[in-house]
Copies of this chain bind each other. A is one copy, B any other.
């Protein structure tokens, strides 16, 4: 590990020939029946076993996992404990970890968030953040991550249907809010470039709008893109490919539900095997479109 998130992630993607990340969005109702039966009322226990198995299953295949903290926060303190335990487990398994927390607030409060989610030794390698507060709500996340070279991904273009009602708001020149946000992210990231040429400040750019991703790729040459939308949200590997540079670097595609619940569509084999196949197919599919 070089101690710079963008460099480490770029190297990890190359090592595994897999520009992809598996999202951990553990919804109790969707866990394998065998796990739910084993744990009875202990939902946190069931999710712990499920996530543990998913992490160990995908660790040889993908460079990173992205725990979605919302699914852990359902269980309040017990869920947060589990979230950090799963980060530790993923780190031991050799994975990089992107904590999908989407926090954002005024400067003093952002610093408090960053202390809890970025600067602790048990924190993920990078987190997602919301840029609605402008630069002084983002800088504390960068600064608190300096010592360990941790990264952030600022929400630029989200993958959900109604995102456009806010993010397509356009000025007189036709520039849209998400493009305005992209300019700010590019400026914010200039101070934290690694030897890879990428900044510790990345961007979330949904794959559900591939032409927009192509333009954003030009606007943010130093940002690594975290690309949601593949699989359950409808985007193909070709859609995702526009988020990458021509040399195949600069982005990581996430899939959550289509991988971790792959056993729903493949009930005749062991559920871990179904996840392993889905993770492998996901990595192969995106790699073929990108490399």
Contact = CB atoms under 8 A, between A and B. Distances in A.
B70 A113 contact: yes
Interface string A106-137: 11111011011100101000000011111111
Interface residues of A, number: 58
A34 B184 CA distance: 44
Given A71-B112, A116-B70, A163 B80 contact: no
B166 A181 contact: yes
Contacts of A160: 106-107, 133-134, 136-137
Interface in A176-211: 177, 180-181, 184
Contacts of A112: 25, 27, 68, 70-71, 73-74
B70 A109 contact: yes
A165 B135 contact: yes
A77 interface: yes
A160 B110 CA distance: 11
A169 B166 contact: no
A91 interface: no
Contacts of A163: 106, 132-134, 137
Nearest to A155: B132
A93 B100 CA distance: 35
Nearest to A68: B109
Contacts of A53: none
